[in-house]
Structure 1
Amino acid sequence: MTYCLRVADIPTSERPRERLMAHGAKILATAELIAILLGTGQGPGKLSAIGLGQYILHELAKCDRDPLAVLRDVTPAELMQIPGIGPAKATTILAAIELGKRAFQSRPLDRTPIDSPVAAAAALSQDLMWQNQERFAVLLLDVKNCLLGTQVITIGTATETLAPPREIFREVIRHGATRVIVAHNHPSGNVEPSQADIDLTRKLLAAAQFLDIPLLDHLILGDGNHQSLREITALWDDYPQGD
């Protein structure tokens, strides 16, 4: 491994904790961030904490996926199969991952104006962003685009979900919303719309016109990213919503 020496043998200014304190966490390599969580090293060849962090990433990459993507859903048992990782280190890593998810997924307060795809994605991220199954949800808004609440309409498989327009607008009407944004996730992380996504959006826009409940957008979320169909398609020109 690249880092076989002890962290104590690294010049003070180059140690992960000191670099984080001086320059912030963003400049640290992923292995260095893991090293801070681990505190100590060992594993194959008595690696340093940084070396063990690198070794963990190397082991996670064996499944031909981004190791960070694997790390998001890793289990304690899977981590503890890596030499040098026991219950204490595994639970520390998993606690940090969960804390990061919760910080990213924090919702805006109710009645917050939803005035952009970014704001809409943030409001829905807890329900959709990191899920392993496709989910379809709605953002319920008032006449000023302020958030009334969110609602997951359906939960599908790892690759598809069904979202009948009838079910969607039933929830919108039941909650007294006057405007709506719909969204679903792609567990693969690819947020480009499929033809089925386009076709469903077309049906929803037509229904929204008929019910006089403007559909403001259809978002696709996944793997920390989002895509606004309103921004990348001409569907809203074909079905004006009066918003």
Structure 2
Amino acid sequence: MSHLRADFLRVAEVELVYKSQVKPSERMKITTSNDAFKLLYDTWDDGKLELQEQFRVLLLDRKNSCLGVSTIATGGISECMVDAKILFATALKARASGIILSHNHPSGNKQFSDSDLKLTKKFVEAAKLFDISILDHIVVTQDGYASMADEGRLKNLDCPF
């Protein structure tokens, strides 16, 4: 039987859609880590900032204008499991050319952990496959933030932690 009947073929249709309610001329431009922190902090759920760790991403166009902010994962008090497939599916769907990774430390500690650095290195390598630039990774706390880009850590991810 080389001919298959249509009623035996059942497949899901996959559709990619990105809809923005913000005109390109109205998008916030991110030029510093402080710009990114302010946007992240202002959009973070106050009830989660000091309660549980969340991983969020700022999605940027080629001019570093913000296409959107997305929560990628929510974890417990001291860790958050981030699925690379969800992160990059989100970035690709939004047509992002650059992304800024971020997560909060409910403890208020602004220092990057070894696992933060290892995760960032993994994502920097993966992003190259999609021609997406990872511009920063920011730890957000109630008291301020830390920026891997400001600390020069994104350029030195090949060195031992």
TM-score, normalised to structure 1, is 0.51
- What is the identity, as a one-letter code, of the residue corresponding to 1:187? P
Runs of 4+ in 1 over 6 A off after TM superposition: none
1:236: how far off? Answer: 2.2
When the two chains are superposed, the root-mean-square deviation of aligned CA atoms in Å is 1.9
1:233/1:164 CA distance change after superposition, 3 Å: farther
Q: Indicate conservation of the 8 Å contact 2:77/2:106, yes or no.
A: yes
Deviations 1:11-69 (A, max 9, x none): xxxxxxxxxxxxxxxxxxxxxxxxxxxxxxxxxxxxxxxxxxxxxxxxxxxxxxxxxxx
* Structure 1 residues without counterparts, runs of 5 or longer: 1-108
* Structure 2 residues without counterparts, runs of 5 or longer: 1-24
Deviations 1:124-170 (A, max 9, x none): 11326734110000001110000111000111001110112222111
Q: Within 5 A, what are the aligned runs for 1:27-106?
A: none
Which fold has the larger relative contact order, with Cα–Cα distance below 8 Å and residues 6 or more apart in sequence? Answer: 2
2:39 paired with 1:123: yes
Specify which structure has the higher proportion of strand.
Answer: 2
Deviations 1:73-106 (A, max 9, x none): xxxxxxxxxxxxxxxxxxxxxxxxxxxxxxxxxx
1:233: how far off? Answer: 4.0
What is the aligned-residue identity percentage? 33
- What is the identity, as a one-letter code, of the residue corresponding to 1:122? K
Structure 2 distance, partners of 1:186, 1:128, is 13
TM-score, normalised to structure 2, is 0.75
Which residue of the other structure, out of 30, 34, 42, is the alignment partner of 1:114?
30
Q: Secondary structure at the match of 2:155?
A: helix
- What is the identity, as a one-letter code, of the residue corresponding to 1:121? F
Which residue of the other structure, out of 60, 64, 70, is the alignment partner of 1:145?
64
Q: Secondary structure at the match of 1:226?
A: strand
User: How many pairs are equivalent?
Assistant: 131
1:128/1:208 CA distance change after superposition, 3 Å: farther
Q: Secondary structure at the match of 2:30?
A: coil
Structure 2 distance, partners of 1:224, 1:110, is 29
1:173/1:227 CA distance change after superposition, 3 Å: same
Structure 1 distance, partners of 2:89, 2:50, is 24
Which residue of the other structure, out of 114, 118, 121, is the alignment partner of 1:195?
114
1:237: how far off? Answer: 4.6
